[in-house]
Amino acid sequence: MRLNAYLARAGVASRRGADELIKAGRVRVNSEPGALNTFVEPGDRVELDGRELAPQRLAYVLLHKPAGVVTTARDPHGRPTVVDLVRHESRVVPVGRLDADSTGALLLTNDGPLAHRLAHPRYEVEKVYEAEVEGEPGGEALRRLREGVELDDGRTAPAGVRRLGPSSLELSLHEGRKHQVKRMLEAVGHPVRRLHRSRYAGLALEGLGPGESRELTGPEVEALRRLVF
């Protein structure tokens, strides 16, 4: 694997942070200075500031994200982060984002290739949201959501939509644009009051209260891999 990915797997930094460590000359591979294009092979010895590193085990964690927590590894404003909630022995990071005021299913992992594919629009990973909105959406609003809504960055793909109550909807999307659900509902005249992601890539939150997390099972990890590999 590429050296920056190895450093990230070892839990010392993000890939971008690992690039800075490599450029600063602090990383050696088999006693030679590491470079940005260095690949680490099985049996290679990798050192940071003279300390030998080893990759952490791959970890996959499902979190029920509560409101008021930001979807980053660290926050310059000192707000609580999803990584603070999970506090895993491995350095896991979130796959994609949920807004600070949104709640629901969030996957965290240190499996970089899987995380990249799950987050990439090409693989159309399903995300299911429950939205409480202003007003009571009628048939025309639901039709527009199902057929695609024109936004400032282009028309959305068709969405699965069903009514949960007079002012609540369930939306199933296979895209991942920034603030997409909120923008879609605002575009049809029903701004979001509360947004909850009930499922992500087939993973649901049964048994998890807000702020609680669990490790994925082996079959769940294999199911994720089948979605994108």
Question: Could you tell me the sign of the dihedral formed by the alpha carbons of 133, 136, 141, 143, in that order?
Answer: positive
Nearest alpha carbon to residue 126 among 223, 40, 16: 223
One-letter amino acid identity for 45? R
Strands 192-200, 103-109: pairing is parallel
**Count of helix runs (H) and strand runs (E) in the chain:** 7, 15
99 is catalytic: yes
Nearest alpha carbon to residue 130 among 177, 163, 82: 163
Alpha carbons 160 and 123: distance in angstroms, whole number:
17
CB burial string 127-152: b at 16+ within 10 A, e below = bbbbbebeeebeeebbebbeeebeee
Two structure tokens written together for 208: 């998890």
Question: Could you tell me the sign of the dihedral formed by the alpha carbons of 208, 194, 199, 67, in that order?
Answer: negative
Q: Which of 44, 99, 111, 152 is catalytic?
A: 99
Cα angle value 32/35/40 (rounded, 5°):
75
Residue position matching structure tokens 């990249």: 116
Catalytic residue positions? 99
